[in-house]
Structure 1
């Protein structure tokens, strides 16, 4: 009897094991895909030696017209803004390498740049002006022939001079890391002139009215815009909307008046 009971128990155990092995477990339901988090910060790339657009004050803090414009736009977008000084000659690599989100620092809109950068609507009109020392006999672009002229490396001044017939007659087009250094060389007599964005050049010329003269002729008119990555169309649309609202409600005019004494926003 004991032997029979043992056999029945073994048989029952084997049956339960086989039943368990044959049961197919249901796979857990896949987790619902979550939407990507909305960006909460915008990183602005700039040249921090570009007054009055973006530069460092006596306390080494970043200030400027474009700094204030970017802060106001970011506030309207509900985003934090970070300002990141970059090598301006490598600005497109910084932008497309995603180390920054926008270029907002007196960036001239050109067809060459449009190939790699998405631009907002223009917000300022600019000229590439010629500055000479107050003692200089140079009065026209034609008189720059055979002279040494300074420009900032990577700036639109480089292209503006090279495209102009007067630029072909120069002895040398010398490029500098920033406009401040170029102006120092002009004051020291190592340059005969510099070509620079009007908003920057007139800012410096006004600070030292007895040192510099701005020629009546210039190397062309251009527009400033905010640059974003070509595929970042959503951010571009948001900045365009914020800028349009700032122009409409007077915020842009107020910032412009603080820096230029009048509203020069386009």
Structure 2
């Protein structure tokens, strides 16, 4: 199949340059982490060369709509709202969310956050989770290249009392700074997928087929364990989402 892409022979990927290890981060000009490794493996299946370019978080879907990229592939939780703006592949992982606080604070549950300031990335599922905590003050941060360091610094300064983000990102931050710790984890099991322009169904199906092959070959699990050794690869959850004969799994559509 001759797949249509923005630049023939390449998969142009809208992403962000901010550090979200172990999922994705930059060392020099090279993208490392689980997502870029999966992207390279998928592209190898399809005969593409992956090319990333930096886009502010809020511009991901306008960039996709304008067909300036083929996909958005950067920590994209599959949500009903986002599905109005793009088609999504089956997930390449499912992830929990967590709350990070200063180590000295007596915060261990959502009940301990009542009346406090909770920060998170604007327009993210993380802030939607924070809103479910009840009587808390939501502090959104715009998705620029330095948003994670800015949120962590705001937490250290006491400008916010807690930070909600993807669990893996916060675990990495807590490992680096002993003054920060995970207060609690929420097992939200949110699926992350590749966002594809709604007009490009052939590309969507091909990406799905490549992900299915990587799962069945054990390659996706291998890449997961290289970047995320502390978490078990969610093979049973991902198996529910696999597409068969190019058909979209109805149970997956309902679950997301």
Global fold match (TM > 0.5): yes
- The structure, 1 or 2, with the larger RCO (C-alpha pairs under 8 Å, 6+ apart) is 2
Secondary structure, aligned partner of 2:76: coil
Matched, 1:247 2:215: yes
Secondary structure, aligned partner of 1:169: coil
Q: Is the 8 A contact 1:129 1:217 kept in 2?
A: yes
- Alpha-carbon distance change, 52 to 186 in structure 1, aligned in 2, over 3 angstroms: same
Distance, in Å, in 1 between the alignment partners of 2:67 and 2:156 is 38
Of 173, 194, 198 in structure 1, the residue corresponding to residue 139 of structure 2 is: 173
Aligned pairs (5 A) from 1:1-266? 39-49=8-18, 50-57=20-27, 59-162=28-131, 164=132, 166=133, 168-177=134-143, 178-208=147-177, 210-218=178-186, 220-261=188-229, 263-265=232-234, 266=238
What are the Cα deviations for residues 33-58 of structure 1, in whole angstroms up to 9, with x where unaligned? xx99774111111122122222212x
Q: Is the 8 A contact 1:47 1:86 kept in 2?
A: yes
Larger radius of gyration: 1
Shift of 1:172: 3.6
Distance, in Å, in 2 between the alignment partners of 1:36 and 1:127 is 34
Secondary structure, aligned partner of 1:254: helix
- Alpha-carbon distance change, 94 to 243 in structure 1, aligned in 2, over 3 angstroms: same
Normalization by structure 2: what TM-score? Answer: 0.82
What are the Cα deviations for residues 131-187 of structure 1, in whole angstroms up to 9, with x where unaligned? 11111111111221211111112322122323x1x2x41134232432221012112
Distance, in Å, in 1 between the alignment partners of 2:86 and 2:33 is 23
Shift of 1:130: 0.8
Instruction: Tell me which stretches of 4 or more aligned residues in structure 1 moved more than 3 Å.
Output: 35-39
Secondary structure, aligned partner of 2:53: strand
Distance, in Å, in 1 between the alignment partners of 2:77 and 2:171 is 17
Shift of 1:193: 0.5
Normalization by structure 1: what TM-score? Answer: 0.79
Q: Is the 8 A contact 2:88 2:195 kept in 1?
A: yes
Shift of 1:216: 2.8
- Alpha-carbon distance change, 36 to 246 in structure 1, aligned in 2, over 3 angstroms: closer
Distance, in Å, in 2 between the alignment partners of 1:227 and 1:37 is 15
- Alpha-carbon distance change, 217 to 67 in structure 1, aligned in 2, over 3 angstroms: closer
Shift of 1:102: 0.7
Stretch moving more, 176-185 or 82-91: 176-185
Shift of 1:74: 0.5
Which structure 2 segments of 5+ residues have no match?
A: 239-256
Which structure 1 segments of 5+ residues have no match?
A: 1-34
